[in-house]
Amino acid sequence: MSQQPDGWQGRVAFITGAATGIGLGVAQAFADAGMRLALSYRNEDDRASTAAWFAAKGYEQPLFCKLDVTDRARFAEVAEEVTDHFGEVHVLVNNAGVSVFGPTDEASYADYDWIMGVNFGGVVNGLVSFLPKIKASSGRRHVTNVASMAAFLPGPQAGIYTASKFAVRGLTESLRYNLAPHGVGCSLCCPALTRTNAWTSALKRPEGLAESGFPDVGEAQLRQFGTAFEEGMDPYVVGSKILAGMTNQDGLILTHPEHGPDFEEAHAKVMAALPVEDAPPGRLHIEQLRRDAMAAAEAGLVIKLDDLT
């Protein structure tokens, strides 16, 4: 068994998009840490290969749950299936997503509905379906939402994708304060280039959302784009870093070290944009109340609107 952080033995985790890519890497890292798993999947061949990995390791087979993360009714059924099977669920990893790119100024409603529906809506559906179960459980518990480095770094071909990841970032950073009083940890993970088949998302577009405004991209061009992913980090390494971040109760888990120059540039731009002038005492007081409330919430106190004025 690989050396992994302690404290997760026997904990039950549900991971979306867990039969390939980062989701599979998370599942494998969790399994090596002794966790019991429920995994969502879409493709039967992917399910079979994942089951074979667990069998080869001699691990308990996961509970496999076929799921389209945009299907709210099915998501609710899955939450019941997981708790019926294991008794409790302690960890939720919202990982499933699509990587689809194109010029934002040409996007159709269908482009927005599909990308936002999976990347942000799927996270929402996971939270609404599983948080009551997790809050009702005991012991160490955690929620991790997997976004992307696009949650910090926009790009000219990734407007809707970036919007979806910014949304996951904002939601998760706020949710952390809400879950602390319940003793539930919460992390935002923003991986960068990883060795996955995420580039194939454009080949799996649902029929009901087929009317794209993006220019047609041939499969050959997509495959050329996919060669970049071959340089990516091993998904198991990403999964191991997520597990380590959860163990440390890190609110933000960054897996790739190469983005220092991007963050330095972003910080410099933000600081340069701040007006150089005095703020009135009343506004300063309100902002200090906000800072104090955030610190108190992270320490486990329930914050109400009255605490902000």
So which residues are the catalytic ones?
A: 161
Interacting residues of 11 by C-beta distance below 8 A, sequence separation 6+? 35, 36, 90, 91, 139, 140
Report which of 92, 89, 296, 287 is spatially closest to residue 180, judged by C-alpha positions: 296
| C-alpha–C-alpha distance, residues 296 and 290, integer Å | 10
| C-alpha–C-alpha distance, residues 63 and 41, integer Å | 11
Report which of 253, 217, 200 is spatially closest to residue 43, judged by C-alpha positions: 200
195: alpha, beta or left? (left if phi > 0; alpha if psi -120 to 50) = beta
Distances in Å between the alpha carbon of 54 and those of 30, 62, 80, 197, 252? 12, 8, 23, 21, 29
Tell me whether strands 141-146 and 184-190 are parallel, antiparallel or unpaired: parallel
DSSP class of 213: -
3-state secondary structure of 158: strand
Longest dimension (CA), the chain: 65
20: exposed, middle or buried (Cβ count in 10 Å: 0-12, 13-18, 19+): buried
Return the bridge partners of 132, or none.
none
3-state secondary structure of 48: helix
* Crossing angle of helices 109-119 and 121-136, rounded to 10°: 20
